[in-house]
Structure 1
Amino acid sequence: MLIAAIVIITLALVFYSVGVWAERIQRTLRWWHAAFFALGLAADTTGTLLMSQIAGDRRAAGVAASPLDTLMSWTGLAAIILMAIHLLWAVIVLIRNREHEKAVFHRFSIVVWAIWLIPYIAGAAAAMGGGGS
């Protein structure tokens, strides 16, 4: 189950990065960017739920949570909430169809993407250090 969670969360990184960086490069928000934000959010939520189940199984087996596990839990939840807000705001901007809003939306996207990287990197570090097994 750990490998599936890692693959799904890595797909979240790919989907979200494609959406965010394509929007930045194209200099305007488009519907297909929002679709990639949604794919990233769905993959991240799925992967995070799998990771939470793995952590719960580890706790049930008597393995104590590390500070890195706690960091990943809180930043992971915050990232999912931010990604959901980001997606919702992107849809609102696209529906309103104001060129200026679509042209500057990438600033918000980059911030959310950068914050999302914190739990991703923490998870990768935990997995490499044996904390994710």
Structure 2
Amino acid sequence: MLSYAIIFISLALVFYTVGVWSEKIQGTLKVWHLVFFYLGLVCDTTGTLIMEAITKTMGMITSTSYFHGITGALAIILMLVHAIWATFVLIKRDKVMIAKFHQFSLWVWAIWLIPYISGFIFRMI
């Protein structure tokens, strides 16, 4: 099961990074970026749920698990808010919001990296 969790979390990194940085480089929010945001969200949520099941099954709750769990939950919530807000911005078709949306995207992406990186760090310790 761990290998599935790693695959889903890695796919989340790929999808979310491609969506966020493509939007930044292109300078405007497009529908395909939104698709990648949602793909990243689905993969991250799936991988997180698998990891949570593994942790509970094996009784591996530690202080680092709490940090990782809290930051991971925050990241998923932010990804969801980000995707919903991007949907709203595209539906509204506000050119200023569409052009500046990448600023919000970069912050959410950077915060999302905290549980992603901490998962590797805590696993190595």
Q: TM-score, normalised by structure 1?
A: 0.91
Q: Percent identity?
A: 52
CA deviations over 1:8-65 (Å, ceiling 9, x no partner): 1011000000000000000000000000000000000000000000010111xxx4x2
Q: Which residue of 2 aligns with 1:18?
A: 18
In structure 1, what is the Cα distance between the partners aligned to 2:82 and 2:71? 16
In structure 1, what is the Cα distance between the partners aligned to 2:104 and 2:74? 15
Pairing partner for 1:97 from 93, 96, 101: 93
- Alpha-carbon shift at residue 124 of structure 1 (Å): 1.3
Q: Which residue of 2 aligns with 1:116?
A: 112
Q: Secondary structure at the match of 1:122?
A: helix
- Alpha-carbon shift at residue 98 of structure 1 (Å): 1.0
CA deviations over 1:106-128 (Å, ceiling 9, x no partner): 00000000000000001111233
After TM superposition, which residue ranges in structure 1, 4 or more long, deviate above 6 angstroms? none
In structure 1, what is the Cα distance between the partners aligned to 2:122 and 2:48? 14
Q: TM-score, normalised by structure 2?
A: 0.97
Unmatched tracts of structure 1, length 5 or more = none
In structure 2, what is the Cα distance between the partners aligned to 1:124 and 1:44? 15
Q: Which residue of 1 aligns with 2:31?
A: 31
In structure 1, what is the Cα distance between the partners aligned to 2:65 and 2:15? 24
Q: Which residue of 2 aligns with 1:76?
A: 72
Of structures 1 and 2, the larger Rg is shown by 1
Pairing partner for 2:121 from 120, 125, 128: 125
